[in-house]
Amino acid sequence: HPLILHLPIGVLALAYLLEGYMFWKKDIDRGIQQIILLFAAVSATLSVGTGLLLVRGGDYSGDLVANHKWVAIGLAAICWALVFLSKKGNGKAYYLTLVSSAIMLVVTGHLGGSLTHGEDFLFDNGELAVTPNIEEAYLYTDIIVPIIKDKCVSCHNPSKLKGELNMTSPEHLTAGGENGKIILIDALADSPLLKRIHMPMSMDEHMPPEGKKQLSDEEIKLLEWWITSGAEYDKRVVETQDYDAHKDI
């Protein structure tokens, strides 16, 4: 699905450019546009089909997924309508449908991007990242949460539950996923989360998975510090175990 979904985007973009060019050059044969629109309709249908198969795998759920699915299906239907209308001529219905397809394409792309990168992947609530005062900072809230949001939440959120694991809140982190808890309070150093971030990239269990933005060495050390010092959610940095050894990371 991630490979095929770019086809209708590119083909429709080409159709819009060609339509704009033909608006000024009235004597151009519209046969090429009909072929492009047919290719857009076929690729959009394939993209919807592979997306539905992806949803059936169980890793995606929630309102965001449902909205993306139905808007994408609507876009595919509009593409087929464009194929039909293009054969009837370039009248008002054709142009209205063409504009509608552009709007649907933008909405579908935004919803898909939100599923892949998180719902705030464009604007992040308009907030600027601020380095906290180390004397006042909380280890989990101010240090660990930004790492989790940047490297983990795109695959482990209410809309995309890889391994049935949600990492968007302390409660969900504590609960773990389909393979059990990822942080073992009674054996912190053996926590599956720590083991997975240290696995070779070639292993399927390595986190983040290959192809995703990887943790830096500093981020790994910070996660280790948080977990081995108790994986607590309400402790200030200066109150944690081995603060002096980690304060310069």
Tell me the per-residue pLDDT of 179-230, one tens digit each, with 9 for 90 and over.
899 999 899 989 999 999 999 988 888 999 887 889 999 999 999 999 999 9
The angle formed by the CA atoms of residues 217, 218 and 222, to the nearest 5 degrees, is 120
Crossing angle for the helix pair 92-117 and 6-24, to the nearest 10 degrees: 150
- Residue 113 reports pLDDT greater than 80: no
**Average pLDDT in the chain:** 85
Sign of the Cα torsion 60, 64, 67, 68 reads negative
